[in-house]
C-alpha cells in the first residue's frame, strides 16, 4: 500500500509569485498514494484563500488548504501548524521559494522503503543564485549525526525533508527560527541515519531568502545550537566552523572585539579554519559581509 504524503509550505503574504511555482512543482509529483498540501501563512490571519492562490487551489480541488500560523511566529510554528493539520502517513517540507524537481518524491519513498528502520529522508539540491545553478551532493546514501556535526551540510535542506508524521517536530524555541532545520536533522539522525538520495531533486533559490543578512538572529541561532547540542563543540572541525561563522556574523555587525574573540576560538579548535581570515577582513573593513556572501553564493556555498 502506498503511503499518503502531506506537504507543508510556509509562506508570507508578500510572496504569491514564488508560492505558485512551488505549489505547482509539488502537485506535479507522481505518487499513487496522493499528495495533500497545507500552505501556512505566517504573517496574516487567513479567513479565505488569498486571491493570488485561488488559481493554484482551483487546479487541485481538495488537495490544497491555506491556514494561518496559529503557533509561534516563524518557520517552526508554521511547520508545526501544518503538521498538526495533516493526517497523512508522511510529512514533507517545501519552502515557498524552492522547487521540487520531477521524481523527487518517488526517489525518497524508494529510499525509505529500502531501509525499513529509517524515519527521515532527504536528497541533494541544486542551488540557484543569479544566473548560476550549482549542484550540492552529500557523497553518501546515509547521513549520520556525525556528518551533521562536522558540517552543516547545506544539501540536507529543509525543502528536501520527508519523514514519518509524529516521529519528530520542529523546535519552536529556535531564535527567530534560525537553525531549526539543522536541529531537526541532527535529532532525526541521532535516532537513525537519514535515508539520502544523492541526486539534486530540489532547486533551492538563495536569492529569495529572507534570512541571509539577519546577522544578530544568525548569532543567536548558532549560540542556541551550541547550548542545545553540546557535542557540536567536541568535534574540532565542526566547532571551528561554528566559531568562524560567529566571528563573521559579529564582524558584519561591526563588533570587532567579539569577532576577534570568536576568531581566536576558531583557530584554537582548528588551525587553518578558512572562515577566520574572511571574518577578520570584514571586521577590518577590507570587504563587506554582503560581498563575501554574494561571491560564495555564486559557487553554491554559504559562510
C-alpha to C-alpha distance for 191 and 189, rounded to whole angstroms:
5
Q: What is the pLDDT of residue 77?
A: 96
Asked if residue 104 lies in contact with residue 124, where contact means CB atoms within 8 angstroms, the answer is no
Provide the β-strand partners of residue 90. Answer: 5, 164
Q: What is the pLDDT of residue 221?
A: 97
Per-residue DSSP letters for 138-193?
Answer: -S-SEE-HHHHHH---TTS-GGG-EEETTS----TTSGGGTTHHHHHHHHHHHHSP
Distances (CA, A) of 39 to 2, 26, 50, 75, 100: 23, 12, 11, 12, 15
Q: What is the pLDDT of residue 31?
A: 87
Q: What is the pLDDT of residue 50?
A: 61
Q: What is the pLDDT of residue 16?
A: 79
C-alpha to C-alpha distance for 102 and 195, rounded to whole angstroms:
19
Considering the entire predicted model, what is its pTM? 0.94
Q: What is the pLDDT of residue 60?
A: 67
Q: What is the pLDDT of residue 112?
A: 97
Q: What is the pLDDT of residue 2?
A: 87
C-alpha to C-alpha distance for 64 and 18, rounded to whole angstroms:
16
Cell of 85: 493539520
Give the chain's domains with CATH numbers.
Answer: 5-208 (3.90.550.10), 215-298 (no CATH)
Residue with cell 510572496: 15
**pLDDT profile of the chain (303 residues), mean per 10:** 93 81 93 89 64 67 85 95 96 96 97 96 96 96 97 96 96 96 98 98 81 86 97 96 98 97 97 96 96 93 91
Amino acid at each position: 500500500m502506498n503511503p499518503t504524503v502531506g506537504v507543508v509550505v510556509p509562506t508570507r503574504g508578500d510572496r504569491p509569485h514564488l508560492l505558485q511555482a512551488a505549489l505547482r512543482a509539488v502537485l506535479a509529483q507522481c505518487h499513487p498514494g496522493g499528495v495533500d498540501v497545507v500552505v501556512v501563512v505566517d504573517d496574516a490571519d487567513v479567513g479565505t484563500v488569498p486571491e493570488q492562490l485561488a488559481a493554484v487551489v482551483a487546479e487541485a480541488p481538495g488537495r490544497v488548504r491555506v491556514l494561518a500560523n496559529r503557533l509561534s511566529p516563524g518557520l517552526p510554528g508554521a511547520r508545526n501548524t501544518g503538521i498538526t493539520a495533516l493526517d497523512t502517513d508522511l510529512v514533507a517540507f517545501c519552502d515557498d521559494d524552492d522547487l521540487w524537481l520531477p521524481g523527487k518524491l518517488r526517489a525518497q519513498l524508494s529510499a525509505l522503503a529500502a531501509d525499513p528502520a529509517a524515519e527521515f529522508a532527504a536528497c541533494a539540491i541544486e542551488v540557484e543564485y543569479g544566473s548560476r545553478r550549482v549542484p550540492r551532493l552529500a557523497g553518501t546514501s546515509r547521513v549520520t549525526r556525525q556528518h551533521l556535526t562536522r558540517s552543516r551540510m547545506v544539501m540536507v535542506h529543509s525543502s528536501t525533508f520527508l519523514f514519518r508524521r509524529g516521529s519528530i517536530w520542529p523546535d519552536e524555541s529556535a531564535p527567530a527560527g534560525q537553525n531549526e532545520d539543522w536541529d531537526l536533522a541532527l535529532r532525526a539522525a541521532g535516532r537513525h541515519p537519514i535515508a539520502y538520495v544523492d541526486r539534486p531533486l530540489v532547486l533551492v533559490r538563495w536569492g529569495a531568502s529572507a534570512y541571509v543578512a539577519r546577522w544578530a538572529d544568525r548569532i543567536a541561532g548558532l549560540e542556541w545550537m551550541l547550548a542545545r547540542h553540546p557535542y557540536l563543540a567536541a568535534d574540532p572541525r565542526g566547532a571551528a566552523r561554528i566559531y568562524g561563522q560567529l566571528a563573521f556574523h559579529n564582524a558584519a555587525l561591526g563588533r570587532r572585539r567579539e569577532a576577534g574573540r570568536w576568531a581566536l576560538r576558531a583557530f584554537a579548535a582548528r588551525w587553518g579554519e578558512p572562515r577566520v581570515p574572511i571574518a577578520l577582513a570584514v571586521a577590518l573593513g577590507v570587504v563587506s559581509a554582503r560581498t563575501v556572501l554574494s561571491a560564495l553564493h555564486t559557487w553554491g556555498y554559504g559562510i
